[in-house]
Amino acid sequence: MDTRPPLVVIAGPTASGKSALAVAVAERNDGVVVNADSAQVYRDLRVVTARPSPAEEARAPHRLFGHVDAADTGYSAARWAAEARIVVADTHAAGKLPILVGGTGLYLRTLIDGIAPVPAIDPTVRAAVRALPVAAAHALLVEADPEAAARLHANDTTRVHRALEVVRSTGRPLAHWQGARTGGIGDEVALHATILLPPRDWLDARIARRAGAIVRDGLAEVAALTARPDLPADAPVRRAIGVPEMTRLVRGEADDPATVAALDLATRRYAKRQFTWFRHQPPPDWAHWTAPIGDDAATAEAVAALGERLDCARPAA
């Protein structure tokens, strides 16, 4: 029997039912739900980022949700992983089960596999790369790092720029540095991971319903966010799904139906990218759960299936 303390991971695309499953697992196993979603760390956007509701948070302890101010431009996967490592250790020390839940694969990979020791990027190189349109940057990446260019979507501005600035600044492709990751907790825990990959038509229907509710109930959050005089123009929260779309509504540049349609489309595109990542990136021992989690019976079935794979219901003392 594996004597390492257990760590549950529930991952998958947005709107796939992760939060409901995580809370149910926490209730059954005396667990603590730990956020692994890069948008849900911001306190300003509970509705827009579909953070757990107060009722859900009352059913089990929740950590790393809504604890970062929107004006903080320095929050990163590395910073989240450092915080999550402490939360996981404290949860084990308290005799409880940590349950990571979220759809940000980079966060999970950074915590479990460690951080790539990429040297500091030359500021001149970074500025030159990030001034490039994504199409031009991707074309240059094809020449400088063809493996990364083939792996990344040509319109993924953040990742294309990152790969190009790394190879230009360090002389080595990003994959080289990623292969030398350090500081992960994967060897310290007994990992029990479930990736939710429900049918796409079912997921798309949920996303469509959620889009309408978010525009209706979350507009005040975006209005308050955009009115903040201290919010930097480059704040990552401005790029969170829903914020650009609803900002146009706040400014009178779009009406409600157009905003709902734009949010629906942006969310479905994001879910598609998540689907692709979670199908191909995690190790093969991360179980895939393809049945929809849309009601209590379906959630109970998924909880039972995960419970069968847990060697023990409590962290080791």
pLDDT digits 0-9 by tens, 181-209: 778 999 999 999 999 999 999 999 999 99
Instruction: Write down the pLDDT at residue 117.
Output: 80
Instruction: Write down the pLDDT at residue 132.
Output: 96
Q: Which of 116-125, 178-187, 255-264 is predicted with the least confidence, judged by mean pLDDT?
A: 178-187
CB 46 within 8 A of CB 221: yes
Domain ranges in the chain?
A: 6-116+181-309, 123-178
Residue 147 above 60 pLDDT?
yes
Contacts of 298 (CB under 8 A, 6+ apart): 17, 291, 292
CB 237 within 8 A of CB 162: no
Instruction: Write down the pLDDT at residue 311.
Output: 53
List b or e across 292-305, with b for residues whose CB sees 16 or more CB atoms inside 10 angstroms: bbeeeebbeebbee
For residues 79-98, average pLDDT: 97
Residue 107 above 50 pLDDT?
yes
Alpha-carbon torsion, ordered 196, 273, 189, 49, to 10 deg: -80
Mean residue pLDDT of the chain comes to 92
Instruction: Write down the pLDDT at residue 31.
Output: 96
99 backbone dihedrals φ, ψ, rounded to 5°:
-130, 105
Q: Which of 54-63, 116-125, 177-186, 268-277 is predicted with the least confidence, judged by mean pLDDT?
A: 177-186
The token pair at 110 is 């950074």
Select the CATH number that applies to the domain covering 123-178 from these four: 1.10.3720.10, 1.10.1060.10, 1.10.20.140, 2.60.40.10.
1.10.20.140
Q: Is the dihedral of CA 288, 47, 38, 260 positive or negative?
A: positive
The letter for the amino acid at 204 is D
Helices (H), 122-156: 123-130, 134-144, 146-151
Contacts of 143 (CB under 8 A, 6+ apart): none
Instruction: Write down the pLDDT at residue 315.
Output: 42
Asked if the domains 6-116+181-309 and 123-178 are classified in one and the same CATH topology, the answer is no
Burial of 59 from C-beta contacts in 10 A (0-12 / 13-18 / 19+):
middle
Strand partners, 8: 99, 192
CB 225 within 8 A of CB 243: yes
Percent of the chain whose pLDDT exceeds 70 = 97
CATH code for residues 6-116+181-309: 3.40.50.300
Distance of CA 197 to the CA centre of its chain: 15
- Cα separation, 248 vs 278, in Å, equals 31
Instruction: Write down the pLDDT at residue 103.
Output: 96
For residues 86-99, average pLDDT: 98
